[in-house]
Amino acid sequence: MTESVKGRLTSLAPQFLVDDLDRAIDFYRDVLGFAFDEPWGGFYAIGRRDGFDLHLKEASKTQADRDHRYRGEHLDAYCGVDSIDAFYQDCLAKGADIIKPLASTAWGTKDFYLRDPEGYILGFGGASE
């Protein structure tokens, strides 16, 4: 039996290292609907949507790391979404790089994967409609 950990988490925000902060902000704002304030120090930005935060930090990654994630469909983040069909169609219409189309899962949901311009793989899923 696991011992209880005190305290309650009130947020959890991934930090993605990006080569081009402006390009990353454009994608997360224009395709996925995050709102951003001005970047801090020219290298760090926080996007917010629906009570969730995403931190972007300008710092290089290796091509080998990007290739490994892509080949193995290793998710960098997974997001639950209401109205998954509509969200998927919106991502398609906005030109998202879909690497695994929306499909039903064995556990009764639907999900899809996309790759952002920096090579991160994001999974999105929700109840079948």
Predicted confidence (pLDDT) per residue in 65-121, tens digit: 777 766 766 788 999 999 999 999 999 999 999 999 999 988 888 999 999 998 889
User: 110 to each of 11, 61, 87, 118, how far by Cα in Å?
Assistant: 25, 31, 12, 25
Residues of the chain with CATH 3.30.720.110: 74-129
pLDDT for res 129: 67
Per the CB < 8 A criterion, the answer to whether 36 and 45 are in contact is yes
Residues of the chain with CATH 3.10.180.10: 13-60
Select from 56, 10, 11 the least CA-distant residue to 29. Answer: 56
* CATH 3.40.50.11310 describes domain 74-129: no
Sheet containing 77-80, strands listed edge to edge, beginning at the edge strand earlier in sequence: 77-80, 121-127, 109-115, 97-104
Entry pTM: 0.80
13-60, what's its fold?
2,3-Dihydroxybiphenyl 1,2-Dioxygenase; domain 1 (3.10.180)
